[in-house]
Structure 1
Amino acid sequence: MTRTAPILLSAVAAASALLLAMTSPAAANPNAINPIPVLNGTNGLPQLPGRSKAIFQVTGMASPNNTQSYNVLGTDLGIMWDNGNGEMLTTFGDTAGLGFPNLLVGSTWAWRSNILVRSHTQNPSNGIYFDSVVRDIFGQARDLIPSPKIPFLEISRIPTAAISVGGVQYMSLMSVKTWDEPGEWTTNFSGLAVSGDNGENWAELPATRRPDEGGNGNFQMNSFVKNGGFVYEYGTPSGRNHAAYVARVPEAAIGDLAAYEYWDGGAWKKDDPNAAQPVIGGGVSEMSVQWNDYLGQYIMMTTDPWNSVVMYRSPSPEGPWSGPEVLIDTRELPSAYAPSIFPYQTGRDLYFLTTIHSQYNVVLMHTTL
């Protein structure tokens, strides 16, 4: 990159941000955002007075990762998992950058729906640093699974969960049809994509699509965790503040929907998503589930109906799950969402990513259990 390129990038980004500030973005559209520090009213890490602290800016122009170097000025989600070989993969959702804007949905930014970075960070106390990113021929972060980005057809294909099985990577994505009222959206389906080359290339598995109807409608946004030879899939309907459900499948059969079993509150029912009963009755949004060695329990992180970041606990994958425990009160950080748990155990120190919508970037948080 030439010396003038960063100057040009900053100038164009500032112009785009000012243009965005003069428009009236759709409240539920994650692409109508402003990821430029200072111009979006943010400057540095948020200072939180509660038990959780913001310790590292993971993405964006204010991040030591300098993600703007591959045209990622802003993004959300940040789903982390181990690739089966001690390397952490992270996929992000809707990603704002410079380029041709998608005027069909009123966005002043060019964006991708799903990108991936790699990291060897095992101790995140000083931050999470990226080693590589999946790029296009121009050196920019590229979509793993392309989306037409046409309203009422599919305006985004967003990752919600990922896991490694036998050294092969699986990612669950939701096909978003429309952005609706704040906190609400409509999906076409969810489904798996697979990568056999450490996340560089992905292929969709059409047979794993769950249409947004019936019992399959309860697994539009997901989270994965392994236990006893099974992959457990936690699901909610599209949008926020719903019940959470759980299914499981033998690891080797993760791509076979007919092999999934659904928890009906007392037993597992095979190949019957309509049998699934809530394991948490309501108030669940984007979520992350993981076994925690220190607590000796499973934990689920999500946001509640008031947009506080909360944690649930359970001795087993199917429950019973505790009530929510607030880790970040909404009065501290009202625009936080989609907490994702760091995949490597760190004792009493719980590290997780969360998106801060006001700056439309992902930040690393720390809580002491």
Structure 2
Amino acid sequence: MRKASTPGVFGLVVACALHPAPAAAAPAPWAPPPVNACGETGFDPRARLPEPGSPPPPLLPPHIDIQIPVPQLVPVPIPGPAPDNERIDPGPLPTDPCRNPCPEPGSDPDNQATTTDPELGSDETPLPSYGPDAPADPGPPPDPLHGLLTSLSGGGSNGNSVLNIPSISFSPDIEPIPIPVPGGVAPPPQPAPEPVVHPAEPGPAVAPLPAPQLDSVHLVNQVTGPGSINRTDVRWQVNATDLGIMWQTKPGEIATVFGDTFGKGWQVNTVGGPDEDWRSNVLGYSTQTDLSKGLTIERMVQDSKCHAAELLDSRKLKNFETTVIPTSGFALGNRQYLSYMSINKWSRIPGMWWTNRGGLAYSDDDGQTWVKSQHAVWDNMFGLDRFQVAAMVPHGAYVYMFGTPNGRVGNIGLARVPTAEVLNKTAYQYWVNGTWAPTAENSASPILPGIAGELSVRYDESSGHWQMVYLDPAAHSIVLRIADEPQGNWSDEVPLVDTNDYPKSYGGFIHPWSTGNDIYFTISAWDTYNVYFMRATFAGDP
């Protein structure tokens, strides 16, 4: 495993040497937290100066928890349980947008929104403990070793407040060792598609376009979580989530899929686990055409009243399958598709993770239930497969697949497949040195220099150009490139979001109704762990 990750880490080091980190932007002026129309307090993803007169933040955290790896054998039933496909028709939301559709028992059913304090627990909560930017993954509750480790630390005292010395405690970091055991009934096998080998076809790259000139970028609205315009916490128990990947399901409707999602029990500055109503992914829909008013979510796929359903199931066990994350979505006729990655485990190195595989799932009932294809799968052999984090885009006779290895320090490869054969892996051709070739995916040539994380790609009808947005970790920015052909050549990068201005931001998923000079996109912020809608305008036609 160490050897498998070395080239990516080396590439990141080289990239950072060639592209030094930009000077930190000056924090924006202090401003009170935003409040939505219902009086609920939201989150500000900008880096801002402290409130005038507030005490300076402590130099050290009040408490340091040192985790000790502890191996633990965990039986894993094979096959696993069947997906929970229970769904309900929840009906329309209340006419009054500030009326809670599912008030707490004993509360006034007509009560309006209750304000959520974004600083709740912020002084005492631990660092993020889950996900690609976390120092460690969540594990099962502490076992009896916890008491021994705590006693060795002096019982977790409060430390020396005069000298501002943090208290120190030790806790076990459970490292599961999965042991397969007989499980339930295996799902029925899906018919294997007939092998297809499309002959190699040249497709030379065209000259690069000039980079578009950016006029402005600004935050439009908070999409999810407490204080958002969509009030996803009270409507669907989506208190915290990320990504916000969008595609058009049919004329006039946009689907938005989110990643790991948490409900009641979630607190700011933490990304937790099962005790916080953890779902690996959830899906919402919007028909708002005036994007300047923000990204609205009008309904979500639900398994019970006021509760968004998990679409693609996961085993939720570190070192086996921690979670299943969508990476792109698209529609072909009445069938919806999701590309996804099955996460084996998150890394202690920020921006790195290990996948089991990338794959495709489809839905024939407007996104209510999904089936993972048993054949459109890209296994991550030795952790080096080129198409683990994919962005798939239908255009013309083909679906194009842009992909990177697991993590955020890999190059971008490209493949294509006829639209009628999207679930037939043997029909894919990969871009290799100027040719669309029926070859192994790891032979695909990088279409861009440098590294990238979480791609979003679309073809813009208004300009006739391809648009690509992704996180460039070396440049500390979410960036845009454009091209005349999917294989490039691509323009130089245009920085859209500086991660010094929007700390710990990632993503950059383009809204399908963007245009050539007016691009809307979502970003996620790690500490507040929610999704925000951004707008970038350009001079002329990019």
TM range (shorter): 0.7 to 0.9
Kindly report which structure 2 residues correspond to 1:114-263, keeping only aligned pairs within 5 A, or say none. Answer: 114-180=281-347, 181-213=349-381, 217-263=385-431
Are 2:316 and 2:323, in contact at CA under 8 Å, matched by a contact in 1?
yes
Are 2:246 and 2:509, in contact at CA under 8 Å, matched by a contact in 1?
yes
Deviation at 1:263, TM superposition (A): 0.3
Deviation string for 1:278-336 (max 9, x for gaps)? 10122210110012245431111011124311011111011111221111122211311
Partner of 2:161: none
Are 2:239 and 2:266, in contact at CA under 8 Å, matched by a contact in 1?
no
In 2: Cα distance, 1:270 partner to 1:297 partner = 26
Partner of 1:95: 261
SS at structure 2 position matched to 1:318: coil
1:109 counterpart = 2:294:
no
SS at structure 1 position matched to 2:321: coil
Deviation at 1:222, TM superposition (A): 1.0
Runs of 4+ deviating beyond 6 Å: 13-16, 30-33
In 1: Cα distance, 2:383 partner to 2:451 partner = 18
Q: Between Structure 1 and Structure 2, how many residues are aligned? A: 348
Of residues 199, 218, 231 in structure 2, which corresponds to 1:66? 231
Deviation string for 1:201-249 (max 9, x for gaps)? 1111121111112798111111122222100010000111310011000
Unaligned runs of 5+ in 2: 1-101, 138-214
In structure 1, give the amino acid aligned to 2:254. Answer: M
Of residues 97, 102, 125 in structure 2, which corresponds to 1:22? 125
Partner of 1:2: 103
SS at structure 2 position matched to 1:235: strand
In 2: Cα distance, 1:84 partner to 1:165 partner = 10
In 1: Cα distance, 2:256 partner to 2:330 partner = 11
Partner of 2:247: 81
In 2: Cα distance, 1:277 partner to 1:259 partner = 18
Deviation at 1:130, TM superposition (A): 1.6
In 2: Cα distance, 1:29 partner to 1:283 partner = 16
In 2: Cα distance, 1:53 partner to 1:364 partner = 9
Compared with structure 1, are the counterparts of its residues 21 and 245 closer, same or farther at alpha carbon in structure 2 (3 Å cutoff)? farther
Deviation at 1:164, TM superposition (A): 0.3
In 1: Cα distance, 2:408 partner to 2:330 partner = 23
Compared with structure 1, are the counterparts of its residues 16 and 308 closer, same or farther at alpha carbon in structure 2 (3 Å cutoff)? closer
In structure 1, give the amino acid aligned to 2:128. Answer: P
Are 2:133 and 2:350, in contact at CA under 8 Å, matched by a contact in 1?
no
Kindly report which structure 2 residues correspond to 1:315-334, keeping only aligned pairs within 5 A, or say none. Answer: 315-334=484-503
Which structure is higher in strand share? 1
Of residues 290, 293, 300 in structure 1, which corresponds to 2:468? 300
Are 1:224 and 1:233, in contact at CA under 8 Å, matched by a contact in 2?
yes
Deviation at 1:358, TM superposition (A): 2.4
In structure 2, give the amino acid aligned to 1:2. Answer: P
Are 2:132 and 2:353, in contact at CA under 8 Å, matched by a contact in 1?
no
In structure 2, give the amino acid aligned to 1:52. Answer: V
Compared with structure 1, are the counterparts of its residues 20 and 91 closer, same or farther at alpha carbon in structure 2 (3 Å cutoff)? farther
In 2: Cα distance, 1:280 partner to 1:5 partner = 57
Partner of 2:14: none
Of residues 499, 502, 520 in structure 2, which corresponds to 1:351? 520
Deviation at 1:254, TM superposition (A): 0.6
Deviation at 1:167, TM superposition (A): 1.7
In 1: Cα distance, 2:298 partner to 2:132 partner = 31
Compared with structure 1, are the counterparts of its residues 214 and 320 closer, same or farther at alpha carbon in structure 2 (3 Å cutoff)? farther
Deviation at 1:138, TM superposition (A): 4.2
In 1: Cα distance, 2:125 partner to 2:394 partner = 47
In structure 1, give the amino acid aligned to 2:253. Answer: E
Of residues 207, 214, 217 in structure 2, which corresponds to 1:52? 217
Are 1:212 and 1:220, in contact at CA under 8 Å, matched by a contact in 2?
yes
In structure 1, give the amino acid aligned to 2:501. Answer: E
Larger displacement relative to structure 2 (213-222 or 87-96): 213-222
Question: Which of the pair has the greater relative contact order for Cα pairs under 8 Å at 6+ separation?
Answer: 2
In 2: Cα distance, 1:91 partner to 1:266 partner = 34
Compared with structure 1, are the counterparts of its residues 24 and 57 closer, same or farther at alpha carbon in structure 2 (3 Å cutoff)? closer
- Root-mean-square deviation (Å): 2.8
Deviation at 1:10, TM superposition (A): 7.0
Deviation at 1:22, TM superposition (A): 3.1
Q: Percent identity?
A: 35
Compared with structure 1, are the counterparts of its residues 242 and 19 closer, same or farther at alpha carbon in structure 2 (3 Å cutoff)? same
SS at structure 1 position matched to 2:230: coil
In 2: Cα distance, 1:20 partner to 1:137 partner = 34
Compared with structure 1, are the counterparts of its residues 30 and 138 closer, same or farther at alpha carbon in structure 2 (3 Å cutoff)? farther
1:363 counterpart = 2:464:
no
Are 1:308 and 1:330, in contact at CA under 8 Å, matched by a contact in 2?
yes
Are 1:85 and 1:167, in contact at CA under 8 Å, matched by a contact in 2?
no
Deviation at 1:24, TM superposition (A): 4.0
Unaligned runs of 5+ in 1: 34-49
In 2: Cα distance, 1:303 partner to 1:293 partner = 24
Structure of larger gyration radius:
2
In 2: Cα distance, 1:67 partner to 1:54 partner = 19
Deviation at 1:265, TM superposition (A): 2.3
In 2: Cα distance, 1:119 partner to 1:342 partner = 11
Tell me the TM-score normalized by structure 2.
0.60
Deviation at 1:106, TM superposition (A): 6.1
Compared with structure 1, are the counterparts of its residues 348 and 207 closer, same or farther at alpha carbon in structure 2 (3 Å cutoff)? same
Partner of 2:482: 313
